Structure 1
Amino acid sequence: MTVNAVGDRLRKPVSAAPRASSRNPLYLVGSLALGLGVWFVVAGLYGPEVFASPGDTLAAAVDLARSGELWLATQASAGRILAGWSLGVLLGAPIGLLMGRIQLIGRLLDPYVQFFRFVPPISFVTLAVVWLGIGEASKIVLIVYTSVFIVAINTLAGVVAINENQLRAAATLGASRRQLLHAVVLPAVVPYIFTGARLAMGNSFLTIVSAEMVAANTGLGALIWQSRNFGRIDWIFVGIIVLGVLGFLFDRIVLWIGRRALMRFGVKG
């Protein structure tokens, strides 16, 4: 029996929570209608100077799109998020694997991981600008910082959760470290990596908005901050909605990639 065969036998597919075979679109329509209704009521109570109505927000979105400002801001924020998040995942996953599999590395890095994961990225905005300038590098580095610890900790949790009996069973058949990694470790850890990646994506949006408000001339965060200075509440609403839609789309993409990666390793997602 080959090591790969052993890996196939040792791996038990992990099924996600049951999904409905079909979803009634009426629920979505009803939810959107309810949300718009509440939005109209609140906007009517407080007025456009405090709470923009759906109509005002739509008109502002059209104006910003026609001027090109909305597209420029969205492109800037999306590019920074994707660049920083990707680097954070590429760094965080190997760090978590090494910490979990090599005791010395785990003991050396754990104090730093535990310390910096409690220091919010926004606290480094000023230093990032001083060290790297107001350009793209400072924002991307902040998102890398946001992502790397989340992914590393989730990956480490996946390594720790591996059944040692599975590792010993494969080792008794003569599996090398590399074979153990591919046959047992990665299939068990990949779900944790993608969970960390999704969490990191959400936190990346928090970071980029904060960073752009303080140290950027373009981006959705900068658009929201500049709108405040001009008293354009409707522009602020546009920026918030675009952030939500962009975040939803990015999350769906990460989820789609994650499910295919899980299938590659024989894990049902």
Structure 2
Amino acid sequence: MSVAGTNDAAPAVAPPARRGGRTLLLNILALAAGLLIWDGAVRLGAVGLPTPVEVLRQAAASIESGQLLRDALASLARVLSGFLLGVALAIPVGFLMGWYPTARALIEPYVQFFRTIPPLAIIPLAIVTMGIGEVPKVFVIFLAAFLTSVVATFQGVVSVDRTLINAARVLGARDATIFRRVVIPASTPFIMVGVRIGLGSAWATVVAAELIAAQSGLGFRMQQGQLYYDLPVIFVSLITIGLLGLVMDRIVIAADRRLTAWQEKA
């Protein structure tokens, strides 16, 4: 007697190339729909915003004058400096906290304390103590990226299945080998999540820092647009920030897929 359903064909799984093409098509359709809704809402008078065409004209003028490139490079340099420094320090500190209880007891209170203080609240203090140059801007970005990444790394280490660690010890592996071959790979997905969140925090922080004290950058340009009620300038800066953040996030995702190729994902 056959069991019902045993002869049913398994659901077909689309190849990665086809899934990628479908995702890209959906992304394009979503973007087109968003632009149409935006343009329609403005033309009907529902919102007092510039039309997509007006924003596009402002973007073309800013690109032609070189202003948009200078502002984008200034903000990007600040974000990369603070973000990379924050992540580079957060990963070893997070491993230290997760692997050694003594280090956790000594470091965790400071991490949790500063996590309750928004990095934006540090900006006035940073400007007063470090001046209005690049150092305070990079510092607050560093702090935002560090606090996010260190917690994610720490959580990744403490979430490693103890069975894997015990099995490695039974097989005669030393702590250094266990850490390198078991703990680091198992906590990498957590680390990459922290890196992605830290990247978003870095962009949010640099824009706030440039709004307070800067002579260049996308946040500074948004402030100038606000002073003169130049909405297309504000929109161009906002869209540029979103595009730069999206590109950087996709780079992090690509690195995540490469580093966690062993993990099953949907």
TM-score, length of structure 2 as denominator length: 0.88
Using the TM superposition, give the Cα deviation of residue 47 of structure 1 relative to its aligned residue in structure 2, in angstroms.
9.0
Equivalent positions of 1:169-188 (< 5 A) are 169-188=167-186
* 1:14-93 pair list within 5 angstroms: 21-24=19-22, 25-46=24-45, 50-93=48-91
Match of 1:200 among 198, 216, 224: 198
Structure 1 gaps, min length 5: 1-17
1:23, 1:80 → 2: CA distance? Answer: 34
Distance in 2 separating the partners of 1:22 and 1:254:
17
Counterpart residue identity of residue 32, structure 1: L
Q: Indicate the residue corresponding to 2:95 in structure 1.
A: 97
Partner-residue secondary structure (3-state), 2:173:
coil
**Counterpart Cα distance in 1 of 2:29 and 2:255:** 30
**Structure of greater relative contact order (alpha carbons < 8 Å, 6+ residues apart):** 1
Cα pair distance change 1:102/1:57, threshold 3 Å: same
Give, in angstroms, the shift of residue 260 of structure 1: 1.7
Deviations 1:114-155 (A, max 9, x none): 111121111011111122221111111111100111111111
Partners of 1:56 and 1:96 in 2: how far apart? 47
1:36 and 1:54 in contact (8 A); partners too = yes
CA contact (8 A) 1:187 1:267 kept: no
Which residue of the other structure, out of 219, 229, 232, is the alignment partner of 1:234?
232
Number of residue-to-residue matches in the alignment: 249
Give CA deviations for 1:92-112 in whole Å, capped at 9, x if unaligned.
111111111110110111111
Q: Which amino acid aligns with 2:35?
A: L
Opposite residue 255 of structure 1, the aligned amino acid is I
- Name the TM-score, length of structure 1 as normaliser: 0.87
Amino acid at match of 2:36: G
Q: Secondary structure at the match of 1:21?
A: helix
| Residue type of the alignment partner of 1:103 | P
Aligned partners of 2:46, 2:226: CA distance in 1, in Å?
16
Shift in Å, 1:27: 2.8
Q: 1:216 to 1:183 in 2, by over 3 A?
A: same
**Cα deviation per residue 1:180-211 (whole Å; 9 max; x = unaligned)?**
11111101111111110001001111111111
Structure 1 contact 93–155 (Cα < 8 Å) conserved: yes
Q: Which amino acid aligns with 1:208?
A: V
The answer to whether the 8 A contact 1:89-1:151 is kept is: yes
Could you give the per-residue CA deviations for residues 59-95 of structure 1, whole angstroms, max 9, x where no partner exists? 1011111111100110011111111111111111111
CA distance in 2, matches of 1:193, 1:29: 30
Contact 1:89 1:148 in 2 (8 A): yes
Over the matched positions of the two proteins, sequence identity in percent amounts to: 35
Query: Which amino acid in the other structure matches residue 181 of structure 1?
Result: F
Which of the residues 127, 146, 149 maps onto 1:148? 146
